[in-house]
Amino acid sequence: MFLLVVIAFFPFAKQTTFSGQKIAEYMVVAFTIITSFKLLIFLYLKRYRITTGSNRRNVIIVGYTPQAINLKELFDSRIDYGYNFLGYFSDNYKNENIVGKLNDIKQFSEKNGVNDIYCSINELNNAQLKELIAFAELNNKTIKFIPDTKEIFSKNLRIDYYEVFPLLSLRKTPLYEPVAYLSKRVFDILFSSLVILLLMSWLIPLLAILIKLESKGPVFFKQSRAGMNGEHFYCYKFRSMQVNDTTEQLAVRNDPRVTRIGRFIRKTSIDEMPQFLNVFKGEMSVVGPRPHIGSINELYTSKIKKYFFRHSVKPGITGLAQVRGARGEITEDVDMINRIKYDVFYIENWSMLLDIKIIIQTVVNMITGDEKAY
């Protein structure tokens, strides 16, 4: 790409002298360094897996077809690939190699930390396949398909080759790509650093005085929230309520626990500003699904499809659901369902441009006020 840009620039650079030799030398050196570095990483990972047995993924295979058996033999013979085979699952065969039936997959996967599920398509009917895909999505498992026929085509499937074995897998969301994940993390660090240095450096002392003058208690309020992969962390906020024992109870309209300064900072969402510290620490992102308390997660994980899917990315200070008005008190299940729809859409359609758009809309809402912020 760099070489193409340089070549394209030649006709417009009348006053610039280019050295074709230096450019060629640079390209040769750059390509050599990059290729060598990637090759060394590749060889190191192979040796590391063989020597230590680490950096491996636990896998199971659904079905006992010839293709499934060949794949298992590949896992056994190529330890450097990093797959730890745990067993076959099938309703159609019974022998010492079969660990269990299809109904046993969920319990076995949760108990043994299964990462990848490989499915022989001929072994599953439509209902079983649909149920297995739903389980994989809800529990953040990777599901791949072993094609038993060449008559398979879907725009939602991606084909990979393990030597000569073709495997089909569902396309992952954009944030699964290393470049996208890294770019989002770099943006989070830069953005949170600017907010902490330029805004919170003087906002914290000012609000600390106002909060302390009105009521006794700490300046900051911290609460355990579920983050990426369901792991809990302490989420920070400016304290906006009187100190009480009902921290698990969500705020409602005209909540008597909220102080006067608390109403202002909640209305303008300033109470969320300390979460930029969570972003800087890597526990949250600037934009993403809002983190919920444990009781909310337990209640809705089993009630709403794809609820746990929101834990496949880091939670955010703001999100698509918040700027679209899906926030505030939850009075019925449809309120949470609307939030999850926005969260899932955001995860599946993420882009840096979408993040910037959400941030701008959040700032606008902070200035104009949000009727559901109370």
What's the structural domain count of the chain? 2
Q: Is 242 found in the same domain as 163?
A: no
Q: Is 305 found in the same domain as 185?
A: yes
pLDDT value of position 320: 92
pLDDT value of position 147: 75
Question: Does 45 fall in a domain?
Answer: no
Give percent helix, percent strand, percent coil of the chain, each to the nearest 5.
55, 15, 30
pTM to 2 decimals?
A: 0.64
pLDDT value of position 194: 94
pLDDT value of position 15: 65
| Crossing angle of the two packed helices 294-301 and 333-348, in degrees rounded to 10 | 90
C-beta of residue 97 within 8 angstroms of C-beta of residue 88 = yes
- Parent domain of 65: 56-171
Helix, coil or strand: residue 82:
coil
pLDDT value of position 371: 63
Amino acid at the residue 292? H
Q: CATH number of the domain at 87, please.
A: 3.40.50.720
Domain's final residue, options 171, 203, 229: 171
Backbone angles phi, psi at 373, to 5 degrees: -95, 100
Domain's final residue, options 143, 171, 199: 171
CA 328 to chain centre: 23
For the chain, 374 residues long, the average pLDDT of each consecutive 10-residue run is 74 66 85 93 89 88 90 89 92 85 91 92 85 88 78 58 75 81 94 93 91 86 88 90 68 73 84 93 93 84 83 91 80 83 90 93 82 57
Q: Is 259 found in the same domain as 122?
A: no
Q: Is 337 found in the same domain as 215?
A: yes
Q: Is 271 found in the same domain as 136?
A: no
Q: Mind listing the pLDDT tens digit for each residue in 343-364?
A: 988 998 899 999 999 999 998 8
DSSP state, residue 49: H
pLDDT value of position 162: 77
Q: Is 182 found in the same domain as 166?
A: no
Considering only the C-alpha atoms of the chain, give the largest distance between any 2 of them, rounded to a whole number of Å: 78
Residue 109's alpha-carbon distances to 140, 172, 310, in angstroms, are: 11, 20, 20
Query: Any idea which residue has 């929101």 for tokens?
Result: 310
Question: Does 364 fall in a domain?
Answer: yes
Q: Mind listing the pLDDT tens digit for each residue in 127-154?
A: 888 889 889 888 888 999 887 655 444 4
